Amino acid sequence: MGRILGDIFSFGDRPVSERIGFIVFILIILAFPWTVKLAYARAVMIKFLLFALFGLGWNLIGGYGGQVDLGQAKNVGFGAYATALMMFHWKIPFWLTVVPGMIFATAESFAVAYPMFRLRGHYFAIATLCVALVWKELFVFWDWTGGARGVEIPIKSTPNFAYMQFGAVGYHYFIFGLFMAQFLFMNWFRKSKLGYELQAVRDNEDAAASLGINVTATKVKTYCITAALGALGGSFITVYYLYIDPDLVMPLDLSILIAMTVMVGGAGSIWGPIIGAAILIPLDMYLGAWLAGGGRYGIDFMIYALIIMIIAAREPKGIWGIVERIKKSR
Amino acid sequence: MLLPFVIITDLRKMELAIELILFGILMGLIFAFISLGLALIFGVMNIVNFAHGEFLMVGMYVGLLTSTYLRLDPFLSLPIAAAMGFLLGIASYRLLIKDILRGPMVAQLFGTFGLMLFLRYLAMFIFGPDIRTVSSGILVGKSVSLGWVALDLSKVVAAGLCLGLFVVVYWIINRTKLGRALRATSLDAEAARYMGIDTEKMNALAWGIGGATVGIAGGLLAHFYYITPTVGMVFILIAFATVALGGFGSISGTFIAGLIIGLIQVIGGQYLSELKFTFIYLTYFLTVVFRPRGLFGW
């Protein structure tokens, strides 16, 4: 027990500069709502934390596992819909809806994982994409889930902690809490037995198998954990927006954006998803809003696309890869 | 008493079945044609082009723009669409693909993925998100009737052209010196280089030919399908399913698989129109899981 706790909170393997940097980052986030009063900036901050959370989850399968999963949006959708439907149909408080959503996402991922992991590379990526799109079509088709119209959560007149409805500052600390919990989980995971096995599988499957690692079981376990983490973020989306539909919580663009934040920041590193989200989300929200105001759509995604192409062609390890290389060369 | 009714309903069912099969074959030929370039590029250099649907979208916009601004018949825009597709293919290879081929698998995936997003949102930036259609042209809105079945003339012409171009591409790959060089590059690039084949040029050419075929397909599709910057997504998944079913890289396999996918989509769409793409995604999934080589792959 003590060892697990130690692994969760210990950053002993990271250099002092990184540890100081992370503490500064935490302090900035904590002080943010007290210093910035602009509603839009607060919304940007919450979305950044949300995508950093998504990125941390996806980094498991995509970064540490090296499996390009382009279907994370389906898990976000499961979480969001579990919360929304249970609140809407049965008035169940938020806190009791999170775990069922995570369980559903895990179970679904477990069910498709075994056939899926017979595939590698492109075949796997396209298969994840197909499964996610099938689920989206089913949710559009199905009446009980609100179909294409989506689900609207009844708004409470006063701040309510059972249904998690309160102002922007509350959501800021709420998502930050979820983010920190997941970050600490990741910090434990990367040093756990499964974490090391996973990285061995990523680097060389045959060598990992010859060391007695069950390659498929390792991938399947990771895939299921990733799914559960995605569903957690989805539940937050429901109470934050108080409205969901398949185009909001399950679109392909969401899967892509999650994967891209990790790729841009640096897949397979603990800081990568945070760096990626810190670059892409403000870019999207400020540039996108500014240009859409002038009637121009899409330039934010064009810049994303350029960044991702340059990174794929020049620096597949992302921005964190550049940082590490500079450090080594000094 | 009931007998005449039974016969009538059976006749109706027969008619419907024949109609569906004809529609399915037409759509299938078009799907096969859209997928041809993807199969070609995969066959030569073992890379999946996520931007393939966006190449198609470019071809569609070429058809739209030549008919609206140059007042040319969209049918005459096909050579322009082919040229645009060819240049786009070559440019993509020279500027991006050459570099990402050296990187790991993940980089290859995200590289063509980035290209896809770039082209899609470039179109969004230039043309806006509106849905457009080609409204005039010698083929638009006309139909040919075969007894009780009325078939869209533009679809029939597209299917016919598809057959012809398939034969041309098959002939280039299997009967010409250029095709032999392409196949040599795909089997063993290093050995091909020792034989004096310029493999860089062959790769670029595969992208060029792939782009040109899908450009023509886009020009034809513009006649009867709505045009938006995001239209590529629908067809890229159909193309993936087709190419996977046919066996990645097999030209004749792509042709047969296109017909099968066309029939699946049309017949599935008849009974559950909201889920017609689900059938295609499931076809892909089941194919790669249970028969990864596809029907004719090696």
A304 falls within a domain = no
pLDDT at residue A180 above 60? yes
Q: Which of A220, A202, A195, A240 is nearest to A80 (CA)?
A: A240
CA separation for the pair A249, A240 (Å, rounded)? 12
Of A174-188, A217-231, B269-283, give the lowest mean pLDDT range. Answer: B269-283
A300 falls within a domain = no
This prediction has a pTM of 0.85
Q: Which residues, at least 6 apart from B130, have a Cβ–Cβ distance to it below 8 Å?
A: B228
Hey, is B61 helix, strand or coil? helix
Hey, is A118 helix, strand or coil? coil
* Tokens at B252, concatenated: 């004749």
pLDDT of residue B9: 61
pLDDT of residue B1: 45
CB contacts, 8 Å: B278 with chain A: 133-134, 137-138
Q: Where are the alpha helices (DSSP H) in B198-275?
A: 199-221, 231-246, 251-271
CA B177, B178, B179: angle at the middle one, nearest 5? 90
**Residues B121/A301, Cβ–Cβ less than 8 Å:** yes
pLDDT of residue A294: 64
pLDDT of residue A54: 93
A126 falls within a domain = yes
- Type of residue at B46: N
Say if A138 is an interface residue toward chain B (CB within 8 Å). Answer: yes
pLDDT band at A292 (very low <50, low <70, confident <90, very high): low
pLDDT at residue A215 above 50? yes
Residue with tokens 């679904």: A108
Residues 71-130 of A with CB under 8 A from B: 115-116, 118-119, 121-123, 125-127, 129-130
Q: Do B117 and A302 touch (CB under 8 A)?
A: yes
Q: Do A256 and B113 touch (CB under 8 A)?
A: yes
CA B48, B54, B57: angle at the middle one, nearest 5? 145
CB contacts, 8 Å: B274 with chain A: 137, 140-141
- What is the mean pLDDT for each group of 10 consecutive residues in chain B (298 residues)? 53 77 89 90 83 93 85 82 93 90 80 90 86 74 72 83 88 87 83 84 90 92 86 87 82 89 86 78 84 71
- Give tens-digit pLDDT for A115-145: 888 887 778 888 888 889 889 888 888 878 7
Say if A25 is an interface residue toward chain B (CB within 8 Å). Answer: no
Q: Which residues pair with residue A243 across a beta bridge?
A: A152
Give the gap in angstroms from C-alpha A327 to the nearest C-alpha of chain B: 22
Domain range holding A224? 34-252
- Give tens-digit pLDDT for A89-108: 888 888 888 899 999 999 99
Going by their DSSP bridges, the two strands B143-146 and B149-152 should be labelled as: antiparallel
Q: Which residues, at least 6 apart from B216, have a Cβ–Cβ distance to it below 8 Å?
A: B33, B59, B78, B81, B82, B85, B161, B165
Q: Do A116 and B292 touch (CB under 8 A)?
A: no
Phi-psi sector, A166: left (phi>0), alpha (psi -120 to 50), beta:
beta
pLDDT band at A295 (very low <50, low <70, confident <90, very high): low
**Residues B170/B41, Cβ–Cβ less than 8 Å:** no
Q: Please give the distance of CA A94 from its chain centroid, rounded to a whole number.
A: 20
Burial status of residue B177 (CB atoms within 10 A of its CB: 0-12, 13-18, 19 or more): exposed
CA separation for the pair B163, B255 (Å, rounded)? 9
Q: Which of B63, B227, B84, B30 is nearest to B138 (CA)?
A: B63
Hey, which bits of chain B come out as E strands?
143-146, 149-152
Residues 268-307 of A with CB under 8 A from B: 295-302, 304-307
Residue A47's CB is within 10 A of a number of other CB atoms, namely 17
- Domain count within chain A: 1
Of A34-43, A257-266, A288-297, give the lowest mean pLDDT range. Answer: A288-297
A316 falls within a domain = no
CA A26, A28, A31: angle at the middle one, nearest 5? 105
What percent of chain A lies above the pLDDT cut of 90?
A: 23
A292 falls within a domain = no
Domain boundaries, chain B: 30-228
Counting one residue from A and one from B, how many pairs have CB atoms under 8 Å apart?
132
- Give tens-digit pLDDT for A46-64: 999 999 999 999 999 988 8
Run of H or E residues at A243: strand A243-244
CA separation for the pair B260, B282 (Å, rounded)? 13
User: What would the mean pLDDT of A220-245 be, rounded to a whole number?
Assistant: 91
A23 falls within a domain = no
Give the best residue of A309, A310, A311, A317 to mutate against chain B (max B CB count within 10 A): A309
Run of H or E residues at A26: helix A16-35
pLDDT of residue B66: 85
Residue of A nearest to B119 (CA): A302
pLDDT of residue B280: 84
Run of H or E residues at A152: strand A151-152
Q: Which of B292, B289, B238, B291 is nearest to B264 (CA)?
A: B238
CA separation for the pair A77, A254 (Å, rounded)? 10
CA separation for the pair A222, A218 (Å, rounded)? 6
- Type of residue at B47: I
